[in-house]
Amino acid sequence: MEGDERTAYVTRLAERGLAIHSFDGHVLKLTYNPAADHQIELGKAADQDELGQYARGVIADLPDAVQMFPGMERIEVEFGAI
């Protein structure tokens, strides 16, 4: 099941131009590419708070996804090309 949840999580992140950068046991770091964000107007970007809330919401929607990141305390979003 973990592989399915990981695939679902990564797919949902990609819909917003997000990708997993790293996880250090406490902080899940995501990178953001506004050109790949299917939910934002071309040429614009979402803010870090909005994207962090989205990533947390996806974890809430996929109950087994949180098991991929044991000990996670927060999510950080870094802007830049993936």
The model carries a pTM of 0.84
pLDDT in tens, 16-29: 999 999 999 999 99
Distances from the Cα of 2 to the Cα of 5, 7, 27, 39, 52, angstroms: 5, 9, 20, 27, 22
pLDDT at 3: 67
Total domains, the chain: 1
Is the pLDDT at 1 greater than 70? The verdict is: no
pLDDT in tens, 29-73: 999 998 888 888 776 778 889 999 999 999 888 878 878 888 999
Q: How far is it, in rounded angstroms, from Cα 17 to Cα 33?
A: 5
Which residues form the domain of 36? Answer: 2-79
